């Protein structure tokens, strides 16, 4: 058994990749708005502009909202900690808050589902009466590498 407060033998932090930074988001919205406005320059001073303008605002607003929601939904982190007598996964995300799972590492099974599951190479841990997913937001190759790394860490412990 590990002592209370002892550091884990293995620790892992997983989070989704964000390819668009805050600065990139502002640049993308600005360039998109500029490209949308460019064809409307010829319509300045005509009543047709007022017919097209609401659609421009609607499209730009929908783009803004969808990118913001995507950015907010990607603010999650999964933390796996492994001791000789305990493994725990803590997941923090915006929609469900904090969720925890813990089990004895000697009684868990690690599965990499090639075909079945919501994503290819679906990685799960089963133990403590539950089956939990790990790294569903990762690429299939990353989940396969994570499976091998976790298998070795569990074998060492």
Q: 46-73: per-residue pLDDT in tens?
A: 999 999 999 999 999 999 999 988 888 7
> Given pLDDT bands bounded at 50, 70 and 90, which one contains residue 2?
low
Residue 63 lies in a domain: yes
What CATH number should be reported for the domain holding residue 125?
2.30.29
* Average per-residue pLDDT for the chain: 89
Q: 96-130: per-residue pLDDT in tens?
A: 889 999 999 999 999 999 888 788 899 999 998 89
Residue 114 lies in a domain: yes
Query: How many domains are contained in the chain?
Result: 2
Provide the domain limits for residue 114: 10-15+77-156
Residue 4 lies in a domain: no
What pLDDT, on the 0 to 100 scale, is given for residue 71?
82
Residue 104 lies in a domain: yes
What pLDDT, on the 0 to 100 scale, is given for residue 64?
94
- Using CA atoms, how far apart are residues 117 and 120, in angstroms rounded to an integer? 7
Residue 140 lies in a domain: yes
Mean pLDDT value of segment 76-96 = 90
Same domain, 121 and 150: yes
What pLDDT, on the 0 to 100 scale, is given for residue 134?
93
Tell me what percent of the chain is helix, strand and coil, each rounded to the nearest 5: 45, 25, 30
Q: Which of 127, 136, 116 is nearest to 154 (CA)?
A: 127
Asked if the model's pLDDT at residue 83 lies above 80, the reply is yes
Q: Where are the beta strands (DSSP E) in 9-129?
A: 10-14, 77-82, 87-93, 97-103, 109-113, 122-127
Same domain, 92 and 26: no
pTM, entire model: 0.72
Same domain, 85 and 144: yes
């Amino acid at each position: 058994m590990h002592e209370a407060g002892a550091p884990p033998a293995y620790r892992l932090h997983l989070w989704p990749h964000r390819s668009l930074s805050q600065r990139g988001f502002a640049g993308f919205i600005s360039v998109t708005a500029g490209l949308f406005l460019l064809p409307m320059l010829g319509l300045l001073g005509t009543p047709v502009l007022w017919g097209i303008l609401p659609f421009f605002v609607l499209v730009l607003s929908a783009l803004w909202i969808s990118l913001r929601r995507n950015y907010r939904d990607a603010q999650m982190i999964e933390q796996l900690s492994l001791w000789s007598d305990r493994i725990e996964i803590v997941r923090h995300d915006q929609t469900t808050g904090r969720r925890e799972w813990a089990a004895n590492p000697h009684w868990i099974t690690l599965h990499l589902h090639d075909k079945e599951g919501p994503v290819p190479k679906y990685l799960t841990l089963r133990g403590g009466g539950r089956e939990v997913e790990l790294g569903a937001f990762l690429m299939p190759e990353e989940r396969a590498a994570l499976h091998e790394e976790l298998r070795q860490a569990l074998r060492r412990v």
